[in-house]
Structure 1
């Protein structure tokens, strides 16, 4: 196979797991970053090549020019795999140009961005009959009345553009408990030039969060899928998965596949749902349109999504497959999970007994791999430096 796999973003374990998924299948992997600093994913033995590109945001046009030039030097079109939302946004903006140089699953320019945008996703879900949390937009008539009567406090102030919001505030959203906190949050967003929406909190602990992970082929049909249940996330209650298990939930396939096929999505995607603890209804929360945190577990359970993507785009698709039983396997990102556990215990949401019992499950680690230990040691070095800085302060 002459097609290389170009992996964008290796300073996080998503890039690392993607590299491993492809490298184990003998694919030539290329780690692309704007700096050598903290790119521990590229330390993997499955990384075949490492290149430094212009910054995807600060030097956007130069970055696109770099990607094109790199492709021109290859004997076959590389497969392009972004491992961070910011890379996805840039690829989507230049999708029509980049498809001349790279194999990319999505064919409709703007669809990636549309489904990442919370406001646009909300409209799409309503249009296709998928339940979403009740939402109020800034500028609506009787704005505060709607919040107090329909949304109620506490509620969430969420960005429409998550990657930019997170880069500014280092958090995914603001949780507000009253009118004053709401006004303060809206002012912070306004000062940062961030568009936000106000949304109802669906009742239920973090284990009421579920995911539908799927691959849709070039005919926009789901060919591979599985479902998962979150147990812990960080920051707690409104964060990213740090301890999540594979769990077969057929209802999520019914909702998720119908919606994704209706909007013409292609490639890998993860839908996050929350199950209402009072009604049992599943609400669509967000879409992740690139390889996600759970990738090492998805691979271990039997769905190698980066390779599934690669095989279809290079003209040799793998047969359809779904995980329709429970494996008891969990994904574990130990470093952030320790902080999460501290938060759950402090707020009384979990007991130490519940935490200790959860660790009995077999695990797929975010970073550690006995057969590929170098990235973990590199990551440990990065964390040690951060801790030393804190101690010095």
Structure 2
């Protein structure tokens, strides 16, 4: 195919899954990284070429210039795939410039960032009748009295800008069991200049977390979708998927499709919902605007979302499709799942017997592939190297 795909970031398995799922269909990929070139995602046999660029976090102008240079060097516009939230924010920030050199689904500059930021996402959700957890801003009057009366403890402090928060604190939220912990959390965020809000915790274990994965084509219609349910995440209770099953939940599409079409969304997205264990209602938690960590699972379950996006962008869209059944497939990121299992058992949230029983499922690994073993071997070598350094230092 004439149009190539440019993948931003191969230091994590999301970038690897983009390369693989496009490679399965014969699409040539170019990976762009700013760190050490010895990254496991770049070891895939499906990768066409690997280009190093300036650090986009420190040298944004130079990074943009490098992307323009790469786009200009191609005869046909490449399709651009950010593999992580900071890349998606960068693309959104420079959307009008980058669209001159790349095929990018989003039309409305700033919308990706708006849905990534919790405050603006919650506002859009409420305006469209979608449930979100009750929230109080730190600058509102009688904050602590209201938290105690309206939200209760424990509660959580969440950032409006998740990538910036995670880069500082290496966690997605602050969990507060009382007023003193809430005051400490707000102080920490304030010292770092990060905007946060206080939110009620929707009751329910981690297996009450669901995803609605979808693609909105250039005409603004959802053409492809399926749903999944988290079984374990890391860090536990407020982390990322490490053991997740594909399961059909039609209510998520009934909520998600009209919402994303109404707000003018374009491209791939993933809405995370939590089901209230007491009422059975689904609450919107966040939207991922880049390829999901579950990408390989979605492919195995029946939809190659990266290829759907690619074909839509080059003007040769695939037929619409929804996976309206449960396949029984389970995604597993083994390294972090082991850590999660340890913590769940320590906290008494899961039993060893229950965990062992859950493992007898047909699994989709995050990194390992018998047909593309290079990344897996490189990943194991890197992890073992880090472990040995800790042991002998």
Shorter-chain TM-score: which interval? over 0.9
* Other-structure match for 1:220: 220
Within a 5 Å distance, the mapping from 1:101-250 to structure 2 comes to 101-250=101-250
- Deviation by residue 1:274-318 (Cα, 9 ceiling, x = unmatched): 000000000000000000110110010111011000000001000
Tell me, in whole angstroms, the C-alpha distance in 2 between the residues paired with 1:179 and 1:116: 28
Asked if 1 retains the 8 angstrom alpha-carbon contact of 2:37 and 2:52, the reply is: no
The answer to whether residue 383 in structure 2 is matched with residue 383 in structure 1 is yes
Asked if 2 retains the 8 angstrom alpha-carbon contact of 1:38 and 1:382, the reply is: no
Tell me, in whole angstroms, the C-alpha distance in 2 between the residues paired with 1:16 and 1:200: 35
Alpha-carbon shift at residue 392 of structure 1 (Å): 2.9
- Deviation by residue 1:299-349 (Cα, 9 ceiling, x = unmatched): 101110110000000010000000001110000000000000001111111
Tell me, in whole angstroms, the C-alpha distance in 1 between the residues paired with 2:321 and 2:173: 35
Return the TM-score normalized by structure 2.
0.99
Q: 1:232 to 1:38 in 2, by over 3 A?
A: farther
Alpha-carbon shift at residue 36 of structure 1 (Å): 2.8
* Other-structure match for 1:88: 88
**SS of equivalent residue, structure 1 residue 223:** strand
The answer to whether residue 280 in structure 2 is matched with residue 303 in structure 1 is no
Within a 5 Å distance, the mapping from 1:344-359 to structure 2 comes to 344-359=344-359
Within a 5 Å distance, the mapping from 1:369-380 to structure 2 comes to 369-380=369-380
Return the TM-score normalized by structure 1.
0.99
Asked if 2 retains the 8 angstrom alpha-carbon contact of 1:206 and 1:232, the reply is: yes
The answer to whether residue 299 in structure 2 is matched with residue 328 in structure 1 is no
Gaps of 5+ in 1: none
**SS of equivalent residue, structure 1 residue 48:** strand
The answer to whether residue 267 in structure 2 is matched with residue 283 in structure 1 is no
- Deviation by residue 1:68-115 (Cα, 9 ceiling, x = unmatched): 111111110000000010001111011011101100010100000000
* Other-structure match for 1:5: 5
* Other-structure match for 1:69: 69
CA RMSD of aligned residues (A): 0.8
Tell me, in whole angstroms, the C-alpha distance in 1 between the residues paired with 2:334 and 2:303: 22
Alpha-carbon shift at residue 2 of structure 1 (Å): 1.1
* Other-structure match for 1:292: 292
* Other-structure match for 1:319: 319
Asked if 1 retains the 8 angstrom alpha-carbon contact of 2:106 and 2:265, the reply is: yes
**SS of equivalent residue, structure 1 residue 91:** helix
Tell me, in whole angstroms, the C-alpha distance in 2 between the residues paired with 1:247 and 1:312: 26
Tell me, in whole angstroms, the C-alpha distance in 2 between the residues paired with 1:145 and 1:129: 27
Alpha-carbon shift at residue 37 of structure 1 (Å): 4.6
Tell me, in whole angstroms, the C-alpha distance in 1 between the residues paired with 2:137 and 2:101: 40
Asked if 2 retains the 8 angstrom alpha-carbon contact of 1:38 and 1:379, the reply is: no
Aligned residues: 393
Asked if 2 retains the 8 angstrom alpha-carbon contact of 1:273 and 1:285, the reply is: yes
Alpha-carbon shift at residue 371 of structure 1 (Å): 0.4
